[in-house]
A and B are shown apart, each in its own frame.
Chain A
Amino acid sequence: MTKQHILTVKKLSKSFGKAKVLDNIKLSLGLGDIYAIIGPNGAGKTTLFNLVTGVIEKDQGIVTYFKNVNGGGVRGRVVSGGVVRGRGVSGGGVNGRVVNGRVVNGRVVSGRVVERVEKVDITNKRAYEIARLGIGRTFQGNRVFSNMTVMENVMFARQLVEIENPVSIIKSTHKKLLNTFKNKSGPLADEKEVKNLEDFLRKEAEYWLDFVGLKELADNKAEELSYGQQKLLSIARLLMADSRLLLFDEPTAGVNPKYSSRIAEIFKKIVEQGDKTILFIEHDMKFIKKLHCKCLYLEDGKCPWPFFELEVIMKNPDIRRKFMGM
């Protein structure tokens, strides 16, 4: 089975006044992989993130996102990362990629099969529309909601557009909505003991806080956390959003080696699920080496080569001189 794409970018360009920040960028990301973007300061790395996520408008280029349209529930044997051969819950054979699969002894006991993949042109979409499709991101710095608790920060991230308006909060649609969400996705998809939507959100937020190692700090205000802990919080928040393409802007900047290792472990665990892709901007070469991922080198708004292993890129004397100062 050929690797499924999750995002492709073609001829993407952006100028601020006369300064061309990105010039004819082309890239393609596969599902379930980790990719890094490296390059000197001012190379246009964050601008690339901003363009993909719709934070700023594009001058030209096409950005395409490959959205999963999920089908019914499935059980069966895992053939390779995320692909299952087995039977659908309503009968009939299934051989395909599974999302939110719970795997026990090499068998998927619950999950939903991907019925088809839909190409969505996100070139001119707004930031919130792109996020709703399943592209989430973190920002340079931490940008956590400092006045909220750690728990609230994470609970916030789950999109419940159906009830996030001033009228629906007084309606009693929460139970119906709860089932919709449980069926849709998330680590608590099969949890029977969830009472209501708020309880569901709390438990799921607890799961992700535990995942990044912040469960004990759930009731603290976000501003009370250290810089490194806030980084972990912003990762937990993004995971709670249940995005499929996760963009991290300098995830280890200003973080001590202990937290940096923890973040690397978290990244590995995320992609192990097989239905999430990570793209991150990083200056810490040791961190990238830990993840054994492919890298895209950006310089002066251009990417002269496609994704390569870090070791291959670093053999280039030009890059060593310009980027590493060696």
Chain B
Amino acid sequence: MSQLLLNTKKIYNWKYSLLFLPLLVTFLFYLFTSLFSASGFGSINYPLHMLVMINIYIILGFSINLVTGYTGLLSLGHGAFYGISAYIMVLGLMVLKVPFFLALILAIVFNMAISLLVSLPSIRLKHDYFILAVIAFQMVIFTILYNWTSVTRGPYGIPGIPRPDIFGLWHVDETWEYVVLSYILLIIVFVYFAKVDSSSFGRVIKGIRDDELVVSSMGRNVNLMKAYVFAVSAGIAAFAGALFATSATYIDPTSFGLDESIFIIMIIFIGGSGNLKGVFWGALFVELLPEILRFLQMPDAVAANLRQIIFGLIIIILMRFKPTGFAGDYDYD
């Protein structure tokens, strides 16, 4: 039996099972809410849409995990990268009229370029000063998106974003198709991270998180590594931005403010950072909690505020009793 297990392990890497987790949890959630709901089973589009959002937040979770969880740079600016890529995506699809994947590549490259503009001057800053620099960047981007009305339409937002068309072969329209698309992008990101997790690059960035001085004394250019990490992280956030813009078909700057950046970082604070599984648990938690509150039939206004309060409380409790998050490797204590 043990030999059979070993052989199976050689063929199939069990960490890939994590990809089934959102699907399974969403299905169970739908099942339970339907069983206990007076109206019985509702539309399947509701859990499918939830699954798309969960996948978007898992991708964002991986993006922030690379910077904060693996490298130890606390970034409160990922909402900005998420937003920039969503707007670039819209620019690509609606103005340049390029296909979905070309617009996505454009968003990735643009995000990476912007990230270098931010990281190169700020990467030498230590601890709190780095955090402040990134928050400042987040504020600047939000202000630009909000006030550059000739391009972004400011607070009115951009409606009617076209659905993705994949090489003229597949027009993504239905919610289940978005689930498939989100899974394709998630698998790309996940496979990359599975490689990072057990690579020399992964060990070096974890080393930077633990002790920068030792890393540079072992022959590594720490500043260059940080710039790399920031750029790749911004590039990954573009996957999420592209998915969000095309699935919501409407974007406005309020979706990409500082509170969104805090929300993104909560994924790894709650789920745990520095590994693959923490991101999944964190994204499931932050996405499902409001749905659970909705299930409790609280008024929307109260639920939104309550969500913030509950998140705040959870962070305090976690930092006190489980600083690694639910399934993390890294202790922020």
Interface residues of A, Cβ cutoff 8 Å to B: 53, 55, 126-128, 131-132, 136-137, 139, 143, 145-148, 152, 155-161, 163-166, 168-170, 197-198, 201, 237, 241
Contacts and interface: CB of A to CB of B under 8 A. Distances in A.
Minimum-distance CB pairs A-B, first 8? A131-B219, A145-B210, A132-B219, A156-B203, A166-B232, A127-B216, A169-B199, A159-B219
A147 B331 contact: yes
Interface stretch (B144-152, B221-229, B254-262): B221-229
Given A143-B211, A146-B210, A131 B195 contact: no
Nearest to B231: A166
Contacts of B329: 147
Nearest to A198: B198
Given A127-B216, A132-B219, A170-B195, A164 B210 contact: no
Contacts of B219: 128, 131-132, 159, 161, 241
B222 A169 contact: no
Contacts of A131: 216-220
Contacts of A126: 216, 221
B201 interface: yes
Interface residues of B, number: 33
A175 to B, nearest CB: 15
A161 B221 CA distance: 9
B120 interface: no
Contact of A139 (B196, B207, B214): B214
Given A53-B217, A131-B216, A147 B201 contact: no
A201 B218 contact: no
Interface string B320-333: 00000000011100
Contacts of B195: 169-170
B218 A241 contact: yes
A147 B206 contact: yes
B79 interface: no
Contact of B201 (A139, A155, A165): A165
A1 to B, nearest CB: 30
B274 interface: yes
A237 to B, nearest CB: 8
16 contacts: A126-B221, A127-B213, A128-B218, A136-B218, A143-B214, A145-B210, A145-B211, A152-B203, A152-B206, A157-B218, A161-B220, A164-B204, A169-B195, A169-B199, A169-B201, A169-B202
B206 A128 contact: no
Contacts of A165: 201, 228
Nearest to A247: B217
B200 interface: yes
Given A147-B331, A170-B192, A136 B201 contact: no
Interface of B: 192, 195-196, 198-204, 206-207, 209-211, 213-214, 216-222, 225, 228-229, 231-232, 274, 329-331
Contact of B213 (A55, A147, A170): A55
B201 A164 contact: yes
A136 to B, nearest CB: 7
A152 B203 CA distance: 7
Contacts of B221: 126, 128
B217 A164 contact: no
Contacts of B198: 198
B277 to A, nearest CB: 15
Contacts of A158: 200
Contacts of B225: 164
Contact of B200 (A137, A145, A146, A164): A164
Given A55-B217, A127-B216, A159-B218, A148 B211 contact: no
Given A128-B222, A163-B201, A170-B195, A147 B210 contact: yes
Contacts of B331: 147
A212 to B, nearest CB: 17
Nearest to A137: B217
A316 to B, nearest CB: 34
A131 B214 CA distance: 10
Contact of A156 (B192, B204, B229, B232): B204
Given A136-B217, A145-B210, A156-B207, 13 more contacts: A128-B216, A131-B217, A137-B217, A139-B213, A145-B214, A147-B210, A147-B329, A148-B210, A159-B220, A166-B228, A169-B199, A170-B195, A241-B219
B330 to A, nearest CB: 6
Given A147-B329, A166-B229, A128 B220 contact: yes
B217 A127 contact: yes
Contacts of A169: 195-196, 199-202
Nearest to A240: B218
A166 B196 contact: yes
B213 A156 contact: no
A143 B209 CA distance: 12
Nearest to B331: A147
A163 B200 CA distance: 7
Nearest to B222: A128
A201 B199 CA distance: 11
* Residue in B199, B222, B329 with the greatest tally of chain A CB atoms within 10 Å: B199
A145 B220 contact: no
Contacts of A201: 200
A147 B218 contact: no
A297 B213 CA distance: 27
Nearest to B328: A147
A35 B192 CA distance: 46
Contacts of B192: 170
A168 B201 CA distance: 9
B64 to A, nearest CB: 15
Nearest to A53: B217
A132 B225 CA distance: 15
A147 B220 contact: no
A155 B214 CA distance: 14
A186 to B, nearest CB: 15
